[in-house]
Structure 1
Amino acid sequence: MTLPLSINLMPKSPASDLADLAVLAERLGYRRCWVYDEGLVTRDLYVTLAAVALATDRILLGPGITNPYVRHPGVTAAAVATIDELSDGRAFVGIGTGGGLTLGPLGIDRRKPVATVGQMVSSLRGLFAGETVDTDGEVFSLRSASLAYGRPDIEVILAGRGPKILSLGGEVADGFNLSYIHKDLIGEHVSALRSATRQKDRRFTITYSTMLVTSEEEFQKARSTLSFRLVDSPTAVRRLIGMTEEEVVGIREALAEGGTTVAADLVR
C-alpha cells in the first residue's frame, strides 16, 4: 500500500513562490497542500491559498493549521468556502488551538482552547451546510449567521498534541493531523484516535506531519521552526526529549524578543 503524501508550506516567501511549489507537488502526485497560518510571521494564509488554487488542478488545499482566535470563525468559514469555490471543490480546513508564534505578537490570550475549537467545528459545519447558526461562547458568538455558498462536505481536520484535543478530534472531526509528535508517542496517539472513532460510521483520516533533515546544513535551517514547535509541545513531550524548564523559558524569551531567527540559536 502506498501512503498518500502531503506538502506543508510555511508562507515566508511570496505567494507566487508557494504556488510554484504546490504545482511541483501536484505534478509529483502529492494529495494535499497545507498552508501554515502564523499571523504576522508569514504571508496571509488565504491570499496564499488563492494563489495555490489558481495554479493547480487536483491537489487538495487548506489551512494547516488555523485557529479560532486570529479571525472570527465565521470569517474563516467564508474564506474557506471561497477557496473551495475558487478551486472547484478542493478545499479542506485544519483547525487547532493556536501556538505562541501566532498568538503572542497579536497579544491574544488563548482562552478555553479545546471548548472553543469544538464550538468552531460545530459552527463551520452548520455554515458550510447552509444552516442558520446561533452560538454563544467565551471567545466568539454568531447571531442568525448563514453562508450562501458553502459545501456541506468540506473536510474538517483537527490538530494538536494533548489528550483533550485528540479526544475532541475523534468525536467531531473528519480527520486528525499529528504534527511533530515524538516518535515514541505516535502509536499511543493513533490508538487514542482509533478508540475515539471506533463507534463512528464514517471515514477518518490520520496524517502525520514532520520535518526530515539529512545534513547539518538542513538542520541549521530547520532550527527556527523547531524553536516554537518545542516550546509549544506538552510538558510530557519536553521531558521525554530532555528539555529543562530553563531551556523552555530561554527559547520563549528569545521568540518574544527576536522571533524565530534569534530563538534558533538556542535549539541544540
Structure 2
Amino acid sequence: MEFCLDLSHHPWARSADPQRAAREAIRIIEVADQAGLHSAWLSEDPDGWDAFAVLGAAANRTERIRLGTGVTNPYLRHPVLLAMSAVTLDRLSGGRAFLGLGRGQPEWYRVSLGIETGQPLRALRETIALLRQWWQPPYRASSSGQFRVQDWRLAFGPVQPSIPIYLAALGPRALALATSQADGVLIADFASEPFLRRLVPELRRKVEMAGRDPDAFSIFVRTAITVTDDPEPILERRKSLLALLCTLPGMARQLEVPGFDVPALIARLREVMRTEEVLARGGGLSAARELGDLATARRLIPTELVAAVSHVGSAEEIRARLRRLAEIGVTHVFVAPPGDLDPHAYADLVARIRP
C-alpha cells in the first residue's frame, strides 16, 4: 500500500500572505517527497489555482514523488491543453507526471461559464482516446465526436512511454470507463469499508474481462488519514465537507454504512444546503457555503456516521483499518499534509500507520 498527498487551493484563499502561502504549498510537497510518499495530487476547480503551475514549480524542488492533478476535467482544459500541460509537467519532472481526470460539475461550466458540456461521460472517453494518441509517436490525434479534432499534431511527447491516467469515478458507467481505458480509479472521500469490499473485487474482475492486467490497475481511495488522540474536532470539520460534497449529484454512492438511513440523510442535507437551487444557478462550493445552512447540516450528521467513513484516530486504529483496506485490494491511500512535521517525522508517522 502506497501513501499519497492531497492538496487544494483553500489555504491560499484563507491566507493574508499570498507569497507565504505559495511557498508553504511547495514546502509541503517537498516534505512529502523526502518522506517517501508515492504522489502529490492537486485539486483543480474553476474557482482556485492553476494546478499545473504549482506542480511545475514543485517539479524543480522534488526528486521522487509523482505529481499530478486530483482532479481536472476536459471542460476546464480542452483535451489538447490537457495533453500539453501533462507532457510539460512530465518533462519538467523527469517522467513523474500523472493525470487525475474527472467529469467536473457540469452545471458550473454550462450555466456559469457558458461552456457546452454535452455528455460528460462521452467527453471523458474521447479525451482519454485523444490523450493516448497525443502521447505516442507521431503525437498526432483526430476525433469526430464531441471534440472535433482534425489530425492535430503536437511537437513532442512525454518522457514516460505514456502518462498514467487515473479516473475519478463512483457511478457504474464511469467505473466501467475506468476499468476499460484508464490506469486506475480514484474513489471519493467518505468511502465506507462495506462499499469498498463490494466494489474493489468487481473492479478487478472488470479489468480482467477487458483483457487487461488487474495487478497493474491502481485503486486510490481518498482517506484523508489524520493521526490524533482527539478526533472530535476533526470529525466535526469533516461534517461540513460531507455536507458540501456528498450532496452533489451522485457523490454519496460510497456512503454505505449499516445502521444509518443514508439516502434519507442526504435528501435532508440537500434541502438545508439548498443544493438544487445552487446547482440551478451554476454555483460552486463557495455558493453552497453562502446559501446553505452548514450549522444545521452539521447537527443533522451523526458523528458516528462520519467516524465510520473517516480515517481519524490513533496510529494503531488507523493501521488496523488500513490493513483491512489492503486485504480488500486498495493500493493507494491519502494521508493529511505534514503541517509542521519535518521529513523524518512525517516518514515516521507514515511508518507507524503502514499496515
**What TM-score range do you get, normalising by the shorter chain?**
0.7 to 0.9
Residue 98 of structure 1 deviates from its aligned partner by 0.8
Residue 240 of structure 1 deviates from its aligned partner by 3.1
How far apart are the structure 2 equivalents of 1:235 and 1:55? 35
How far apart are the structure 1 equivalents of 2:266 and 2:87? 43
Q: 2:265 aligns with which of 243, 253, 265?
A: 243
Q: Which residue of 1 aligns with 2:287?
A: 259
Structure 1's unaligned 5+ residue stretches are none
Q: How does 1:51-130 map to 2 (within 5 A)?
A: 51-99=57-105, 103=109, 105-108=112-115, 110-130=117-137
Q: Which residue of 2 aligns with 1:20?
A: 27
Residues 97, 230 of structure 1: alpha-carbon distance in 2 compared, 3 angstrom cutoff? same
1:178-213 deviation line (CA, Å, top 9, x unaligned): 122531311222122111111434311111113346
Q: 1:11 aligns with which of 9, 12, 16?
A: 9
Structure 2's unaligned 5+ residue stretches are 13-20, 256-260, 299-355
- Count of paired positions: 264
Q: 1:135 aligns with which of 135, 143, 154?
A: 143
1:37-56 deviation line (CA, Å, top 9, x unaligned): 1111x211111111221221
Q: Which residue of 2 aligns with 1:174?
A: 183
How far apart are the structure 1 equivalents of 2:237 and 2:263? 20
Q: Which residue of 1 aligns with 2:46?
A: 39
Residues 62, 236 of structure 1: alpha-carbon distance in 2 compared, 3 angstrom cutoff? closer
Give the TM-score, by structure 1 length.
0.87
Q: Which has the higher contact order (CA 8 A, sep 6+)?
A: 2
How far apart are the structure 2 equivalents of 1:144 and 1:31? 36
Residue 241 of structure 1 deviates from its aligned partner by 5.4
How far apart are the structure 2 equivalents of 1:215 and 1:177? 25
How far apart are the structure 1 equivalents of 2:117 and 2:289? 24
Match of 2:244, SS?
helix
Q: Which residue of 1 aligns with 2:154?
A: 147
AA in 2 matched with 1:48: V
How far apart are the structure 2 equivalents of 1:71 and 1:43? 13
How far apart are the structure 1 equivalents of 2:2 and 2:223? 15
How far apart are the structure 1 equivalents of 2:38 and 2:251? 33
How far apart are the structure 1 equivalents of 2:287 and 2:2? 33
Root-mean-square deviation (CA, aligned residues, Å) is 2.6
How far apart are the structure 2 equivalents of 1:163 and 1:223? 26
Give the TM-score, by structure 2 length.
0.67
Match of 2:125, SS?
helix
Q: 2:196 aligns with which of 186, 193, 211?
A: 186
Q: Which residue of 1 aligns with 2:18?
A: none
Mapped pair 1:225 → 2:234: no
Mapped pair 1:156 → 2:161: no
